[in-house]
Amino acid sequence: MKITDLLKKQSICLDGKADSKEQVIREMVDLMAEGGNINDIDTYRETVFKREEEGTTGIGEGIAIPHGKTEAVSAPGLAAMVLPEGVDYDSLDGEPAYLIFLIAAPNTEDNVHLEVLSRLSMLLMDEDFRNKLLHAKDVDEFLAYVDAAEKEKFPEEAEEKAEAPADAFAKPYQILAVTACPTGIAHTYMAAEDLEKKAKEMGVTIKVETNGSGGAKNVLTPEEIAACDCIIIAADKDVAMARFDGKPLISTKVSDGINKAQELIERALSGNAPVY
């Protein structure tokens, strides 16, 4: 589900200002309501605040992605706000938030908010993309940046297959990785994105399994595990480990997958990783 399909012009504010996390969430909920996706604004607002009590959605790097899944949402939607002066959002890195995306999801089994959260997290890992959004001159330019980033990051599957070498999927990956965080949301996907991005820069082949709220995705196969050189586990919760018995393995926290991707990859390639 594309970000640009969910984000309406009337739900975007480029000159937001708030004195507190509570205030910015209330204003974001009002923005979401402008898009016509909410049938009970009070219930939706309460759901967003309740989710925030479980753990901050201020994921760092100046970003926050609050969200709420409830019957009060009639259709999936997004709202976005740029705060030039920032706001104290209780973010994980202790820094102000300047870019807020709010997700609204109906209470259905498909967990659309997790799909959107994953997609947003991967896009927002790109510093250049974040800067473009923060300095967009108007809503049309903001949406154009989002559209361009999505097309670059998520090309059509048919195009990917057409462009891939015939034997691309037969070659073993040098490194395999698993990312996971306690809530199974933003940091899981941010770590995966940073590992993949850094591996590409280094000319290293990698496959990353994400262990998120919607279950494990891009699951590592026994054949891939057997053929790889090393495993990286960047996780703050338990993941299935028995399958890695006998393989060189590096175990670390999920934040290292975001902040120390190159260091982890270099260590994995060094041949000095302990055998699990």
**Over the stretch 178-233, which tens digit does the pLDDT of each residue have?**
999 876 567 888 899 899 999 999 999 999 999 876 678 889 998 899 899 999 99
| Catalytic positions | 67, 181
**How many Cα atoms within 13 Å fall on the side-chain side of residue 249?**
18
Helix (H, G, I), strand (E, B) or coil at 55: coil
Q: Are 187 and 255 in contact (CB under 8 A)?
A: yes
What pLDDT, on a 0 to 100 scale, did the predictor assign at position 217?
Answer: 84
CA distance 238 to 231: 15
CA dihedral 146, 150, 151, 154 (to 10 degrees): 180
**Domains of the chain with bracketed CATH:** 3-153 (3.40.930.10), 175-269 (3.40.50.2300)
CA distance 42 to 47: 9
pLDDT tier for residue 156 given thresholds of 50, 70 and 90: low
Taking residues 18-24, what's their average pLDDT? 95
φ, ψ (nearest 5 deg) of residue 247: -105, 145
Count the neighbouring beta carbons within 10 Å of the beta carbon of residue 141. Answer: 14
What pLDDT, on a 0 to 100 scale, did the predictor assign at position 213?
Answer: 67
What pLDDT, on a 0 to 100 scale, did the predictor assign at position 247?
Answer: 93
CA distance 239 to 249: 13
Mean pLDDT rounded to a whole number for the chain = 88
Residue count (the chain) = 276
**CB proximity list for 155: less than 8 A, separation 6 or greater:** none
Radius of gyration from C-alpha coordinates of the chain = 19
What pLDDT, on a 0 to 100 scale, did the predictor assign at position 114?
Answer: 73
